[in-house]
Amino acid sequence: MIDPESMAQLRKELRERMVADRKLLEDLRAEVRSGLGDARRIMPRQTTAVSLVGTDGGNNRIEFDPFMAQLIRVVDSSNNEYCLEVVTPTTNLAELSKRHITDGTAHTALGKMMKFLGASTLWELSPMIKKPPAIPSPSWVQVYRELTEWAVLFSLVREKDYGTDTVIVWDGLLRSKVFSGTLFAKLRQGIDEGIREQKTRRRRSIYVVGVAKHSKVLQRYRLAMMLEGSMRCDYPCYADVSRELEQNAYVWSEYARGGEVESGEANKFVAGKMFFVKFGGRPRDPIWPVDLFESQINEAQVVFGSLLADAIEGFPVPFYPRCLQRAHENAALVDFDMDILQQGIVTAIRESLGESAPVLDELALIDADPAAKRYG
């Protein structure tokens, strides 16, 4: 513990630093005044909202040393399953690529996205997946999961028939840095084509929106916004966030460079325009960072109005889209499901060991973490 004298000195220095850095807060308030649009009231609308979400790698990693099997599963808020497979960090990437696309023929949603983008292998799709025989980093599994989720979104926009106008809710902001070169920009164009095709041929308006739980932009400006009274109204509202405000918050400015930028480096990572949105009707209700698909910025009132009723019913997180919470509930594999999968990997190892399988029974009786007793 810090002794009382040291604590007093720390408090003194903290007060001095806060006084010295007061100008920083004033600068942030000035940035909010110039970079955050006026709060606009959200008017309710009736539109179907379907959320897309993949399993959380942290929750669905099936560990049994030396194996680390990861479940890749993508479902929506109606519990429709679009992908289910198991990979490990040592999975043969060449064989995995062939599972999705062979000789230009696509077999899965990921394969269809690869074909559209002109990539015949996973390492052509992302620089974070190394071409064999190079030894890949174990983190390639998380990249592969994200690519799969984008592929499912791509498929939902371009191929699915909808009975009514629909808002597809992406879990997170509509941005990515896992694609090679300009492939993400091409993917953005493909999604835009699918939206226009749905409108032209099927008379359905499909909206794509990304809702994040947190953002560096909101974290940076939250205090300044409160001091300025931004979005402190007694009704649901949204406010446009300028690209300049975003760039001030991100280490890499290209993560805030949209398609409207006419000079400098082209936009390769961003498919959305950020808004701050408050679905609750009280001044202190939570504010969420939300990306609208770039070509649908003018439809902000329609999209947020469509999400309003769903967010008001949000549970257990209040004023957060219920469809997204349902998708998370459907995707999470816990308790009985996880026990079955854990037992499945043990059974598979047992079968592969043959006569040495009884070692597994001995291993099950050994405490895997005896040091944990120090917390008892």
Specify the pTM: 0.86
Q: What pLDDT, on a 0 to 100 scale, did the predictor assign at position 56?
A: 44
206 vs 192: CA distance, rounded Å = 10
Phi/psi for 225 (5° steps) reads -65, -40
Mean pLDDT of 226-248: 95
Phi/psi for 28 (5° steps) reads -65, -40
53, pLDDT greater than 90:
no
Confidence at 57, pLDDT banded by 50, 70, 90: very low
Confidence at 368, pLDDT banded by 50, 70, 90: low
356, pLDDT greater than 90:
no
pLDDT by residue (tens digit) across 116-154? 999 999 999 999 999 998 888 888 999 999 999 999 999
Peptide bond preceding 316: is omega within 30 degrees of 0, i.e. cis?
Answer: yes
Confidence at 362, pLDDT banded by 50, 70, 90: confident
Name the β-bridge partners of 237: 41, 278
Q: What pLDDT, on a 0 to 100 scale, did the predictor assign at position 89?
A: 87
Confidence at 376, pLDDT banded by 50, 70, 90: low
Confidence at 288, pLDDT banded by 50, 70, 90: very high
Quick check: 327 and 76 in contact, CB under 8 A? yes
Mean pLDDT of 283-298: 96
Share of the chain above pLDDT 70, in %: 90
Q: Among 274, 280, 287, 277, which residue's Cα sits nearest to residue 226?
A: 287
Mean pLDDT of 348-355: 80
| Local structure of 103: helix, strand or coil | coil
Q: What pLDDT, on a 0 to 100 scale, did the predictor assign at position 64?
A: 58
15, pLDDT greater than 60:
yes
Q: What pLDDT, on a 0 to 100 scale, did the predictor assign at position 3?
A: 83
Confidence at 161, pLDDT banded by 50, 70, 90: very high
60 vs 79: CA distance, rounded Å = 17
Q: 330 vs 345, which has greater pLDDT?
A: 330
5, pLDDT greater than 90:
no
Q: Among 259, 287, 271, 159, which residue's Cα sits nearest to residue 208?
A: 271
Q: Specify the pairing of strand 166-171 against strand 48-54.
A: parallel
Quick check: 246 and 6 in contact, CB under 8 A? no
In the chain the domains, ranked by start, together with CATH numbers, are 48-331 (3.30.2170)
